[in-house]
Chain A
């Protein structure tokens, strides 16, 4: 009698603990929408909405601005099995450590079971975020485009034409230099990324840009890098560009001390400032014979990953899929695109965009061809070697061929 009482009491205790626990599904989410990101407010609203609709779910928001150290933290979280339940990360070559950790769920089937959700996305965009094994692991929200951000006031004041060709570009450089204005702000020392991509794209064309480096060193890459050297010698960049990064370059542009800046859609809102009141974004000029004026670097290279562990956890599954659905719904995509001016991954038209963003969307629509950035296509160690090599190339300390030789060696080794 006594024994059975104890067993009953113990069972009651276990059940009651179970009931308490059932009320608290905890979900960890990482997104890049944090800090100064223009979409962070909208993202927080989305999370709040979800919390209100699902009081039984507790959300631990681990969002942080994505810099190199956060990237490494995320990679290591996946390598060590400590990943968040939903992680926003890259879908390009940088996805390798995430997908190959084996800790994310392919989403194709989940999407297929939920046609309304799936139809919210543009098919072409889903195609672009597919991993090399043919599966979709991440759901895109917004994409980006890159180009030449120009300070319209400075161009009008000094009567300079917004460059579309190499000649016009160098003429603009000369005029601005003569007037004590930095023609093109760039962080060639630390973040020459956008300049590398555009130089190669506009000298060699999309095919050369997209060729990668594993098969051979495309001569257009050499010419592209030499174009940067030519600009450097023409004094196109600020004098201390070799020890600066994007923030220094953007600062110079914002203060109205620089007329041009090669950057992406994410930078437009920040670049438009007291010193640079009227800005717009145009394609980087066509520099070489093979280049095409309207070609762009643009695309979708990030998305929301779903952790395999969370999906296989019966208690979490429903809640985590619901949250993913909520964050990547057509409405959510529209709201985020309106906030950050990016390209929406759904078939929606963002409302209320400012002039430069309208110009940007127009530029994107008029592009003959869009390429993903080079760093989305080659392996990280190889890309960083190229980035570090730019200072050596433009100053003439090492030739472009020499640097690319090293880059290729590392690319082959890494594969």
Chain B
């Protein structure tokens, strides 16, 4: 009986092996097909379709008129596109410095404490589960000149109210909630990475008389460099997609001072109804995304530090 079962299992596993080796490609194809179909319908086709639309002057998505590279020429001569690109890059730098930077700092601090780790983990992660649109609305109300919280506090202390969303501050004011919302995300990634570091290393360091600062800089950081790299790439690609928070708080204004590529594309398509030109901006965002991501990968490199 037993040997019979064993025999059966063996034959079965042999058969599985055979399938695996002989029909490998078919099996792979079979399992990848749903995902491939999904991405093709909802990602590749729309991208190709958008690319096709960039050669047309299309209002309201009807009666397209072929204009060759007209939309691309317009794109390169549109000052708002360049302003939005500049703002997107400022956003990117701020995201890397503050989102990732604060994420690392908070993770290391929380890792060092003995009690209340879970409390901080939940607290810092909490903003992520809220939708950016509702947070945007919240901050829009905070910044409100006549009835906002910030100015009410200033008034309470007998100080003059501040116009928070003027041209010089608007970009920073929309960056603050965006950064605040995502710090927790990077914090959790880094905190998880920290748990991978064996405690023995710290104990040895302590025996050797290393200070906390030395332990962090000589052990912790070098060992999580791979995870930091991932978070930086995530932060950079994430900022290319920034839209909802900016849209809710300033919609890119005043005078396009907080305009980012995402909001400009949206307003071009959904407010001005210029589908062709909006698609051109979308293609520009995709190209920029590919270039920036590959540059990031190149510059940060993938030097990995292993424990052994």
Residue-by-residue, is B185-229 near A (CB-CB < 8 Å gives 1, otherwise 0)?
Answer: 000000000000000000000000000000000000000000000
| Main secondary structure on B side of the interface with A | loop
- A54: interface (CB < 8 Å): no
Contacts A391-B253, A392-B255, A395-B254 given; indicate if A96 touches B60 (C-beta within 8 A): yes
Contacts A255-B147, A391-B255 given; indicate if A243 touches B57 (C-beta within 8 A): no
B146's partner among A252, A379, A385 (CB-CB below 8 A) is A252
Give the total number of A-B pairs whose CB atoms are below 8 A apart: 85
Q: Are the CB atoms of A395 and B255 closer together than 8 Å?
A: yes
A72's partner among B63, B255, B270 (CB-CB below 8 A) is B270
Interface-side segment among B10-18, B45-53, B271-279: B271-279
- B72: interface (CB < 8 Å): no
Residue-by-residue, is B161-174 near A (CB-CB < 8 Å gives 1, otherwise 0)?
Answer: 10111000010000
Contacts A68-B270, A380-B273 given; indicate if A252 touches B147 (C-beta within 8 A): yes
* Interface members, chain A 369-386 (any B CB < 8 Å): 379-381, 384-385
Q: Are the CB atoms of A413 and B57 closer together than 8 Å?
A: yes
Residues of chain B with a CB closer than 8 A to A391's CB: 253-255
* Interface members, chain A 70-87 (any B CB < 8 Å): 72, 75-76, 79
Q: Which residue of B lies closest to A252 (CB)?
A: B146
Q: Are the CB atoms of A397 and B146 closer together than 8 Å?
A: no
Q: Which residue of B lies closest to A102 (CB)?
A: B62
Residues of chain B with a CB closer than 8 A to A384's CB: 267, 271-273
Interface-side segment among A142-150, A234-242, A327-335: A234-242
Give A288 to B269 CA distance when docked, in angstroms.
Answer: 36
Q: Are the CB atoms of B270 and A379 closer together than 8 Å?
A: no
Q: Which residue of B lies closest to A100 (CB)?
A: B62
* Interface members, chain B 101-151 (any A CB < 8 Å): 140, 143-147
- B59: interface (CB < 8 Å): yes
B75 → chain A, closest Cβ, in Å? Answer: 16
B186 → chain A, closest Cβ, in Å? Answer: 29
Residue-by-residue, is A232-257 near B (CB-CB < 8 Å gives 1, otherwise 0)?
Answer: 00000011101101001001100101
Which of A238, A239, A245, A414 gathers the greatest number of chain B CB atoms within 10 Å? A239
Give A174 to B299 CA distance when docked, in angstroms.
Answer: 59
- A190: interface (CB < 8 Å): yes
- B181: interface (CB < 8 Å): no
- A264: interface (CB < 8 Å): no
Q: Are the CB atoms of B147 and A69 closer together than 8 Å?
A: no
B145's partner among A68, A189, A238, A255 (CB-CB below 8 A) is A238
Number of residues from B at the complex interface, CB < 8 A: 30
Q: Are the CB atoms of A243 and B254 closer together than 8 Å?
A: yes
Residues of chain A with a CB closer than 8 A to B146's CB: 182, 238-240, 252, 257
Give A413 to B250 CA distance when docked, in angstroms.
Answer: 29
Give A186 to B299 CA distance when docked, in angstroms.
Answer: 48
Residues of chain A with a CB closer than 8 A to B40's CB: none
Give A24 to B57 CA distance when docked, in angstroms.
Answer: 43
Give A75 to B224 CA distance when docked, in angstroms.
Answer: 50
A260 → chain B, closest Cβ, in Å? Answer: 15
Give A238 to B60 CA distance when docked, in angstroms.
Answer: 34
Residue-by-residue, is A97-115 near B (CB-CB < 8 Å gives 1, otherwise 0)?
Answer: 1001100000000000000
- B61: interface (CB < 8 Å): yes
Residues of chain A with a CB closer than 8 A to B235's CB: none
B60's partner among A97, A239, A251, A397 (CB-CB below 8 A) is A97
Contacts A243-B165, A380-B272, A385-B272 given; indicate if A189 touches B59 (C-beta within 8 A): no
- B251: interface (CB < 8 Å): yes
Q: Are the CB atoms of A397 and B255 closer together than 8 Å?
A: yes
Residues of chain B with a CB closer than 8 A to A413's CB: 57
Residues of chain B with a CB closer than 8 A to A388's CB: 267
* Interface members, chain B 261-290 (any A CB < 8 Å): 267, 269-274
A346 → chain B, closest Cβ, in Å? Answer: 31
Give A269 to B138 CA distance when docked, in angstroms.
Answer: 25
Residues of chain A with a CB closer than 8 A to B147's CB: 251-252, 255, 257
* Interface members, chain A 357-415 (any B CB < 8 Å): 379-381, 384-385, 388, 391-392, 395, 397, 413-414
Q: Which residue of B lies closest to A239 (CB)?
A: B145
* Interface members, chain B 216-248 (any A CB < 8 Å): none
- 17 pairs, A vs B, C-beta closer than 8 Å: A72-B273, A97-B60, A97-B61, A189-B254, A190-B253, A238-B145, A239-B146, A239-B161, A240-B144, A240-B164, A240-B165, A242-B165, A242-B253, A242-B255, A243-B253, A384-B271, A395-B255
Interface of A toward B, CB cutoff 8 Å: 68-69, 72, 75-76, 79, 96-97, 100-101, 182, 189-190, 238-240, 242-243, 245, 248, 251-252, 255, 257, 379-381, 384-385, 388, 391-392, 395, 397, 413-414
